[in-house]
Amino acid sequence: MEFSAIPFDYLIIGGGTAGLVVAARLSEDPQVQVGVIEAGPSALNGEDKGAITVPGRYGETIGSDYDWKFETIPQSGLRGRTLAWPRGRVLGGTSALNFMAWNRGHREDYDAWADLGNIGWSWDDLLPYFLRSETFHPPSAEHQRHYNSSYKTDFNGSQGPIQTTNIKQYGPAHQYWHETLNALGIPSLDDSLTGNNSGAWNMVCSIDPTQQTRSYSASAYYAPAAGRRNLHVITNATVLNLMLEKTDSRWTATGVRVRRHGHILEAKAKREIILSAGSVQSPQILEISGIGPRDVLQAAGIEVKVENKNVGENLQDHMMFASVYEVLPTLSSRDDVVINPVLREAADRAYAASKTGPWTILPCSVAYCSVSDITSSHELNIPGVDHLESCAWGINEQALSNGQNRGQVESIFDLGNWSPFFKGDPSKKYATMLQMLQYPLSRGSIHIRPQSDAKNPVTVDDKPVIDPKYYLGQGQHDKEVMALARSFADRICDTKPLSKIIKGRAFPPPREDSNTTDTQSDEHFVEEHTITDWHPIGTCSMGGSQGIHAGVVDERLRVYGMRGLRIIDASIMPKQIGAHLQATVYAIAEKGADMIKEDWKNN
Q: Determine the straight-line distance between the first and last CA of the chain, rounded to whole angstroms.
A: 29
One-letter identity of residue 202: N
The alpha carbon of residue 311 and the mean position of all alpha carbons in its chain are separated, in whole angstroms, by: 20
Beta strands in 95-211 (DSSP E): 101-102, 134-137, 162-165, 199-202, 204-205, 207-208
The SS3 assignment for 126 reads helix
Q: Is 61 annotated as a binding residue?
A: no
Considering Cα of 320, then 403, then 390, then 121, what sign does the dihedral take? Answer: positive
Give the whole-angstrom CA distance, residue 158 versus residue 151.
13
Give the whole-angstrom CA distance, residue 525 versus residue 304.
43
Decide if 244 contacts 48 (C-beta within 8 A).
Answer: no
Question: Is 232 part of the annotated catalytic residue set?
Answer: no
Q: Is 239 annotated as a binding residue?
A: yes
Decide if 481 contacts 470 (C-beta within 8 A).
Answer: no
One-letter identity of residue 445: S
Cα separation values, 444 from 75, 265, 401, 527, Å: 11, 34, 28, 17
Which one is catalytic: 143, 261, 535, 549? 535
Give the whole-angstrom CA distance, residue 145 versus residue 104.
24
Q: Is 534 annotated as a binding residue?
A: yes
Decide if 55 contacts 252 (C-beta within 8 A).
Answer: no
Which residues are within 8 A (CB) of 319 and not within 5 positions of it... i.e. 6 or more apart?
Answer: 436, 437, 440, 442, 470, 478, 482, 530, 531, 532, 533
Phi, psi of 174 (to 5 degrees): -65, -25
The SS3 assignment for 58 reads coil
Give the whole-angstrom CA distance, residue 433 versus residue 224.
38
Q: Is 477 annotated as a binding residue?
A: no
Question: Is 535 part of the annotated catalytic residue set?
Answer: yes
Decide if 598 contacts 555 (C-beta within 8 A).
Answer: no
Which one is catalytic: 143, 232, 529, 580? 580
Give the whole-angstrom CA distance, residue 89 versus residue 77.
29
Question: What contacts 24+ positions apart, CB below 8 Å, involve 126-130?
Answer: 126/584, 126/587, 126/591, 127/155, 127/195, 129/586, 129/587, 129/588, 129/590, 129/591, 129/594, 130/104, 130/157, 130/193, 130/583, 130/584, 130/586, 130/587
Q: Is 535 annotated as a binding residue?
A: yes
Decide if 150 contacts 176 (C-beta within 8 A).
Answer: no
| Helix or strand holding residue 367 (H, E) | strand 365-369
Instruction: Quote the Cα angle for 238-241-243, to 5°.
Output: 130
314-349 burial string, b = 16+ CB within 10 Å, else e? bbbbbbbbbbbbbbeeebebbbbbbeeeebeeebbe
Cα separation values, 473 from 388, 477, 484, 527, Å: 14, 8, 19, 14
Give the active site residues. Answer: 535, 580
Annotated binding site: 90, 94, 239, 534-535
Annotated binding site for FAD: 90, 94, 239, 534-535
